[in-house]
Structure 1
């Protein structure tokens, strides 16, 4: 069963300067790994002149979310891992963070890189804010006019949100229902005078 999860509230960017090196953090909420990779490619294209575009993402809200990081040429474990650490500390998921570095002429050392990438990731996540998402599914029901009030009343039992109702020969109502209520909805559906169901 899909449970509520924490993710970023909005896409964001934030900049940090450490020893003349510029670190620019970017973050985006993503549905899957393909979307995360697309965002990384987009940032790399926008910052093609940068020395490094390091990143991490965390996707999925079960016991074992998909986690991945990449140091993009920085010493192993000094960039992607601290970015992922910033995501993990907030227990965020469905998020990708890319930190772009423009080298400023002074080497930071392993410790300095870990701190700078971790701080850049933390700052962009602060700028993005946090929100709790409730996984949902959409469904369309078709039924007669006389049953409209009864059906909407009963759908309240499964926390259904009406997206829209169209009144033609029949009533067609599009609903959004929390995924955690799917089983209860299926049982309730058997009791309702519905002529059509479409997910």
Structure 2
């Protein structure tokens, strides 16, 4: 059984200043590399004159993320992406992207100063962003009579399940996203109502 884990509740931006350099940190919830790309493109559109846009992300459960990556975007190797990623990992959060946009202020910070500045910027935004719990979902396909749709909708509302799609024909076909920890309860509901269902693998 996959564990629930916290993910960012929303997009958030915070700005810090270190020796006249501006560090604009953004956090965003992401579920795939494509979403990461979209957020990075937006950052480049919003800040075309920034000297660096460094970032790190991890998708999946903290500690065993399915995917993680980082980028120093021209800063000395290991001084930007890596400190951002280590703050993410320390926060025990999944499905998260942190971008730090830097406007150079004319004073060089040195490698240690950069590490502290990027880690501090990541910390400033991650410590303030709201968290929601990501519950792994299982998808189930159901075929049922018209009279069964309302009880199913009611069950979904009561059990944090989501009716993903409904198709009407001779009978009603539905796809339901069920929290994994409710899968057995869902099966019992279907059996009690004599619904034809199967979980997608």
Q: TM-score, normalised by structure 2?
A: 0.79
CA distance in 1, matches of 2:152, 2:104: 62
The answer on whether the counterparts of 1:83 and 1:117 sit within 8 Å (CA) in structure 2 is: yes
Contact between 1:2 and 1:62, CA under 8 Å: does it hold in 2?
no
Q: 1:186 to 1:67 in 2, by over 3 A?
A: same
Q: For 1:110-155, what per-residue CA distance to the aligned partner results, in whole angstroms no more than 9, with x for missing partners?
A: 11111110111111112322222212245464434666788789x6
Unaligned runs of at least 5 residues, structure 1 = none
Kept after mapping to 1: 8 A contact 2:83/2:119: yes
User: Which structure 2 segments of 5+ residues have no match?
Assistant: none
Provide, for residues 147-171 of structure 1, a one-character-per-residue CA deviation record: whole Å limited to 9, x for no partner: 6788789x68x94646599999867
Note the C-alpha offset of 1:173: 6.6
Distance change >3 Å, CA 143–CA 97, structure 1 → 2: same
Aligned residues: 197
SS of the equivalent of 2:127 reads helix
1:10 aligns with 2:27: no
Aligned ranges for residues 1-199 of structure 1 at < 5 Å?
1-61=1-61, 64-65=64-65, 66-139=67-140, 141-144=142-145, 159=159, 161=161, 163=163, 175-182=176-183, 185-186=186-187, 189=190, 192-195=193-196
CA distance in 2, matches of 1:196, 1:183: 13
